[in-house]
A and B are shown apart, each in its own frame.
Chain A
Amino acid sequence: MSPDRNKTEQRRPDWAALAVAVVLAAIAAVIFIDVSRLKGTGGYSQVGPATVPDWIGFALIGLAIWTVIEAFRGDFPTRDKQEIGPVVWIVAGLVAQMLLLRVAGFSIATGILFGLTAAGFGKRKLWITIPLGIVVCLFIWLIFAGLLQLALPAGPLERLFW
C-alpha cells in the first residue's frame, strides 16, 4: 500500500464504520429510554438500578463519537470481499431449524440445518445432505435425549423410537 494511493481513498468516510456509530448511539438511546422509568428508586444514596446502565449509555455515546472520527480518518482496517451466497444458505438453515423445531422435532429441523450449512460450503446436493443430516441428528437425539436426558423436542420421527 503506497501512501499516495491511500490518501485519495481516505477522503471518503467509511460507511460501515459510520453505521456502527449509529448502532452504538441507538443502543445508548434504548438504554436511556428504558431506564428512565427506574429513576428515583435509588434511595438516598441516589445509586439505583438506573445508575450503571446510564454510565454504559454515556460510554456508548462516547465510543460512537470516537468511531465517527476514525471513520472519517479512515482508521478502520481494509475488509476482504464477503461472499453473500453462503451466508444466506446458513442463515436460511438456522431460520428453518428455528421455525420447524416445535412442529417437526429435533431431527428433521436440525437435519435441514445440516443440509443447508453443507450447501453453504459447496455441497449443493440437498436430496443427499438433508436425509443424511436427519439420520445423524436422529442418532444424536437418541444419545442425548435417551442417555444424557437432555430435553430435546421430539417430533414424528423421534416418536417412532421412544
Chain B
Amino acid sequence: MSTFEFLLQGLASAAQPINLLYALIGVTLGTAVGVLPGIGPALTVALLLPVTYRLDPTGSLIMFAGIYYGGMYGGSTTSILLNTPGESASIVTALEGNKMARAGRGGPALATSAIGSFVAGLIATLALAFIAPYIVKLALVFGPREYFALMVLAFVTVSSAFGDSTLRGLTSLFIGLAFSVVGIDQLTGQNRLSFGIPDLLDGIEVTTMAVAMFAIGETLFIAAQGNKGPETVEAVKGSVWMSAQDWARSWKAWLRGTAIGFPIGAMPAGGAEIGTFLSYATEKRLSKHPEEFGNGAIEGVAGPEAANNASAAGTLVPLLTLGLPTSATAAIMLAGFQQYGLQPGPLLFVTNPQLVWGLIASLLIANLMLLVLNLPLVGLWVKLLTIPKPWLYAGILLFATLGTIGANPSVFELGMLLTFGFLGYVMRVLGYPIAPVVVGLILGPLAEQQLRRALAISQGDVTTLVQSPIAAVLLILAALAFIIPLILRIRGRGEVLSQMAASED
C-alpha cells in the first residue's frame, strides 16, 4: 500500500467518535497544563501520562498526540501574555509576542501564533508521513553498530553541543547513563546496581525521573528564589482577529518557519531550539519593517512559532522510524510507547501499521482541533495564567505525585521521586541541564544493547564500530558536534550556544 492509502486508513481510524473524544480530551488537557507558567511540553506530557494508563494503546497514543501538540500551543500563549522566557521553545516568541501584547496587539499575536502553528503542524505532519517510509527502508539496512553510532550522535547533540558548558552537559548525560544500568541486564538477566532492592530490579522509571526532575526540581528551585514580585499578565485587548496586513505579513513567515524548523527537528540534533532562532534571524533580515523588530513585529512571532511546531513534528521522525528520542519530550513519549510493550522503530511500521498511521493521522486532527479550540477559549487560558503561585505549585506537586502513585503506589517510588526531585533542584542551582539526564536514562539501555551486539558479532574487537562507512560517518559527525562547540566556548563565542540550549524540550 502507498503512504497515501495508509494515511487515509489512519484518518478513518482516528476519526472514529471515541478516538475523536480522546483527541479532544488530550488537546484540552494539554493546552490547559501547557499554559501554566513554568510547565513546558516535556513536563506536560510526563504529568498527563497517567491519565492514559487505562486506555487501549491506540486510544492512549491518540490522546497523547493531542497532549503533545496542546502543550506546545499552551506554551506559546504563556510566553506572549506573560514575559517568562522559561520555556526554551518559546523564548523567541516571548521576544516579539510580549511586546505586541503590551502594545495592545495581544489578540493578533495569539492568532498568528495559533494559525502559524496550525499551518506548520499540518505541513510538517504530512512531511513526516511521506518521509517516514523512506527512513524506515534506510533503517532496515542499519545493523547494531550503525544504531550505536546514531545514538552516540544523539547523546552528543543533546548533552554537549548546545548549552553553556560541555562539561556540565556531559556530566548530566553520564548521570542519566549511570542510572540507566540499574536493574536486570536485558541480555544476560544479571542484576546490576539494584543492591538487593526488589523495586530496583525493573530499573528506574523514566516517567518518575522526568516528573521528579522537571516538576519537583523546578518547584523547589522557584520556591528557593524567594518572592521576586508578581509577574504581570498582559490582558488581551481588542480583537483576536488579524487584519489583512497581518495576514499578508504572516503567511510567508509561517512557510519559511516550517521549512527551517522541520529538517532541524528531524535531524538527531532534535529538540534544541535552533529552528526558532534561525527563523527569527531570517525574518528580521527579510522584513520590510526591520525597525519593528524588538518592538513587536508580527513576523517575529509567526516565523518562530511555525518553526517551533514544525520541529516538534520533526522530532517524531527519528522517534517513530528509528526509536531514537532526541528531546526530553520525545524521551517521555518513548516511555509511553514502552508502557504498552511497543518499541518504536522500523519494525513497528510493519507489525503495527494501524497504530503508527492512526497516531500520525490523529496529529493532523489534534492540530485542527487546537485551532478551533484555542482562539475562542483564549480568555479561559488567560485566567489560568493568573493562578497565584502557592496554589499553582501546590497543584503541580499534587498531580506530579498523583502520576507516580497511580503508576506504582509504593512508598519506595515516592522516595525516589523525592530524591530525584532534590537532585534536579541541586542540578538547577549549579547550572546543570536536565534534559540529558532523561535522554540518557531512556537511551542508555538501547545504546548498550546495540553496542554489545556489535561487539559480540566482532568477538570483542572495538574497531568494528568504525569499519562500516555509515557508522564511521555518524561517529565523525558526533566528534565534530563535540569538538567544535568546545573550541567555540574556549574562544569566548559560547553565548550563541547557550542561547540555543534546550532547557526542557
Q: Which residues of A contact B (CB under 8 A)?
A: 16-17, 20, 24, 27, 30-31, 34-35, 38, 41, 43-49, 51-53, 56, 59-60, 63, 66-67, 70, 75-77, 79-80, 82-84, 86-87, 89-91, 93-95, 97-99, 101-102, 106, 110, 113-115, 117-123, 129, 133, 136-137, 140, 144, 148-153
Contact = CB atoms under 8 A, between A and B. Distances in A.
Given A20-B171, A51-B452, A101-B411, A144 B178 contact: no
Closest 5 CB pairs of A and B: A86-B223, A150-B406, A121-B390, A118-B390, A49-B185
B53 A86 contact: no
Q: How large is the interface on B (under 10, 10 to 19, 20 to 34, 35 or more residues)?
A: 35 or more
Given A27-B178, A49-B192, A144-B406, 18 more contacts: A24-B171, A34-B195, A45-B455, A76-B430, A79-B429, A86-B220, A87-B220, A87-B425, A94-B216, A94-B421, A98-B411, A101-B414, A117-B393, A118-B390, A120-B223, A121-B389, A137-B398, A148-B53
Contacts of B458: 45
A45 B178 contact: no
B16 interface: no
B52 to A, nearest CB: 9
Contacts of A115: 394
A117 B451 CA distance: 44
Contact of A34 (B193, B223, B226): B193
A60 B50 CA distance: 34
B481 interface: no
B368 interface: no
B401 interface: yes
B448 interface: yes
Given A101-B409, A150-B53, A45 B397 contact: no
A110 B398 contact: yes
A83 B174 contact: no
B391 interface: yes
A52 B182 CA distance: 12
Interface in B427-477: 429-431, 448, 451-452, 455-456, 458-460
Given A121-B223, A122-B390, A48 B50 contact: no
Contact of B451 (A52, A75, A90, A149): A52
B51 interface: yes
A20 B319 CA distance: 33
A111 to B, nearest CB: 9
Contacts of B430: 16-17, 20, 76, 79
B295 to A, nearest CB: 29
Interface string B179-223: 001000101101011010000000000000000000010011001
26 contacts: A24-B174, A31-B181, A41-B188, A48-B188, A49-B190, A52-B181, A52-B451, A56-B178, A59-B170, A67-B167, A75-B167, A79-B429, A83-B223, A83-B225, A89-B223, A91-B220, A91-B418, A91-B422, A95-B418, A114-B397, A117-B393, A118-B393, A121-B393, A129-B390, A140-B398, A150-B406
A150 to B, nearest CB: 4
A83 B228 CA distance: 12
B164 interface: yes
Given A91-B418, A137-B398, A153 B405 contact: yes
Interface string B148-185: 00000000000000001101001100110110010001
Given A20-B430, A31-B178, A38 B409 contact: no
B227 interface: yes
B402 interface: yes
Nearest to B454: A47
